[in-house]
Amino acid sequence: MAETKREIERKYEATEKTAVPDLVGTGGVAAVRDEGVTELDAVYYDTPDLRLAADALTLRRRTGGADEGWHLKVPVAAGIRDEIRAPLTETLPASLAGLLRSRVRGTRVVPVVRLRSSRDVRLLLDADGRPLAELSVDTVRADRLTGTGEATWTEIEVELADDADEALLDAVEKRLKKAGIRPSAAPSKLARALEETGAPAPRPADAGGAPGSAGHAVLAYVREQADAVVAFDPAVRRDLPDAVHQMRVACRRLRSTFKTYRKVLDRAVTDRLGEELKWLAGELGAARDEEVLTARLTARLDELPSTLRLGRVRARLRARAVRRTEDARRTVLAALDSPRHLALLDALDALLADPPLRAAAAYDAPEVLARAVRKDFARLAGRVEHALALAPGHERDLALHAARKAAKRTRYAADAARPVLGKPAKRFAKRVKAVQSLLGEHQDSVVARAALREIAIQAHTAGETTFTWGLLYGREEAAAAARERELPGLWERAAAPGIRASLSR
């Protein structure tokens, strides 16, 4: 079973003669305790073309120290990584192999670098003797295992203890700099080892297309979203908050981009990809939709006075959520482990490696992108006006849902154009997002009412009172009606001619 530790650390250049200054009194450090020297031996694994290193991931099998075993380090932010640990076995544990699948796919990971370190450890303690951070002076020898090359260096590493204030690292860094010790240019030992043994990690590929062209701008956005699909795959497997939603959004952004910019990218290629992205978003959707629905119904129950929560409403809602969430998670994991998913990732790579550019891809980006955004907006306008012309009821609900999807596509089109069109595209996207959010609230109410009706029927069949479910249904009806009343004013602001005209300036 893998466990995860949040690692917050900073690295500094050093030599064997570097003297670590006295840190007592720095950022709440009351004492420094020498823990002695530990010998560490780590073999780092990657694909032959270093795909993990290219994405700043490190996979190692390490012996020595209190935490020997397999470690996968995933970047979170600058100086922050999640270290996912698994027991020391001869072969890569399945729990870690799954987290690598979106990147390595059918390629095996092989040993690429061996690092042997003598680690001189000191604990920085507070006044009660609790650890605030661990400072180590590491003397490192790196040996390249895929070819020849070796390197040696010394570095200082300061890692924050669990629950310690990150401000401590700032204070320690200030003290180290005062002593002439400078931050390391390498983000990790592996990155330094690869660099100094002559084969650094690959740099990110260029978007493609001529700089300044529509093709270059659209492909840059496609690459960004394709990278997000790959990156959120292990996050979904780890069941991290919002990961399913973000991966689903990336799929939708890609689909929308292929549709919006079909004058730039050939539909003979992108339509097939769009269908596969629709499938993946659908598999992710059950988990996300259940998450949103449960949160909404729970909040609605919390808003009611206890005197109006009759029967076992919380228990029924909780049981429903657990059952559906478990089913949805099984569906998501099955999709991510399927050959179809890996084939989709390969197809996205193939598109970016050899983009199917059309004639408009060579034109100046501002003109092409602004025209595409305005076209999507015209489609949105038609759907909103159609919905507003209908009487309240089922048909209007369907029309408003269709308008919501059009608003989402228009917003994504503007987001893709922001690097080229700048602030006008940002303002435009903000106005359209407001419309999308209102329509999303309306659709969430439609979905909630359907669920409440289903729950009420089940409760009635079980001989329970349905009073509370009916009350919540009525409140959702009122919420939907309120959103419908707000829509004309919000739409008038989003549809202001000046907003669209600014896209062409």
pLDDT at position 176 over 70: yes
Q: Token pair 């029924």 is at which residue?
A: 316
pLDDT above 70: residue 1: no
pLDDT at residue 24 greater than cutoff 90: yes
Which residue, 343, 320, 338, 323, is CA-closest to 284? Answer: 338
* Confidence at residue 246, expressed as pLDDT on a 0 to 100 scale: 95
Determine the Cα angle at 287 with ends 286 and 291, to 5°. Answer: 115
| Prediction pTM value | 0.90
Q: Which CATH number fits domain 214-504: 1.40.20.10, 3.40.50.620, 3.30.70.580, 1.20.1070.10?
A: 1.40.20.10
Q: Which of 172, 142, 145 is nearest to 157 (CA)?
A: 172
Helix axes 394-421, 365-389, angle to 10 degrees: 160
Q: 110-125 and 31-46: which strand pairing? A: antiparallel
Residues 228 and 181 sit within 8 Å (Cβ to Cβ): no
Q: What are phi and psi of 81, to 5 degrees?
A: -140, 155
Task: Report pLDDT digits (tens) over 360-374.
Answer: 999 999 999 999 999
pLDDT of 505 > 70? The answer is: no
CA distances 279 to 236, 238, 326, 349, 387, Å, are: 16, 21, 20, 18, 28
Residues with Cβ within 8 Å of 501's Cβ and at least 6 positions away in sequence, in order, are: none
86 Cβ contact partners less than 8 Å away, ≥ 6 residues apart: 1, 2, 69, 70, 71, 72, 93, 95, 96
* pLDDT tens-digit series, residues 312-354: 999 999 999 888 888 889 999 999 999 999 999 999 999 999 9
Q: What is the CA angle 99-157-30, rounded to 5? A: 120
CB proximity list for 416: less than 8 A, separation 6 or greater: 217, 218, 221, 253, 257, 260, 261, 369
Which residues pair with residue 123 across a beta bridge?
Answer: 33, 134
228-259 confidence digits (pLDDT tens): 999 999 999 999 999 999 999 999 999 999 99
Q: Measuring CA to CA, which residue among 360, 356, 67, 322 is closest to residue 213?
A: 360
Of 86-90, 128-132, 144-148, 409-413, which range is least confident?
A: 144-148
Q: State the Cα–Cα distance between residues 377 and 409, nearest whole angstrom.
A: 9
Nearest to 457 by CA among 316, 337, 360, 347: 316
Mean pLDDT of 63-71: 92
Q: Answer yes or no: are the C-beta atoms of 127 and 30 closer than 8 Å.
A: yes
pLDDT of residue 278: 97
CA distances from 105 to 109, 156, 279 (A): 10, 35, 19
Provide the pLDDT for residue 281: 95
Q: What is the pLDDT of residues 273-301, one digit of tens each?
A: 999 999 999 999 888 888 889 999 999 99
Q: Where in the chain is the domain with CATH 1.40.20.10?
A: 214-504
CATH number belonging to domain 3-196:
2.40.320.10
**Minimum mean pLDDT range among 199-208, 293-302, 370-379, 469-478:** 199-208
pLDDT of 471 > 70? The answer is yes
Q: Would you state the pLDDT for residue 501?
A: 75
Residues of the chain with CATH 2.40.320.10: 3-196
Q: How far apart are CA 172 and CA 161, in angstroms?
A: 14
pLDDT at site 345: 97
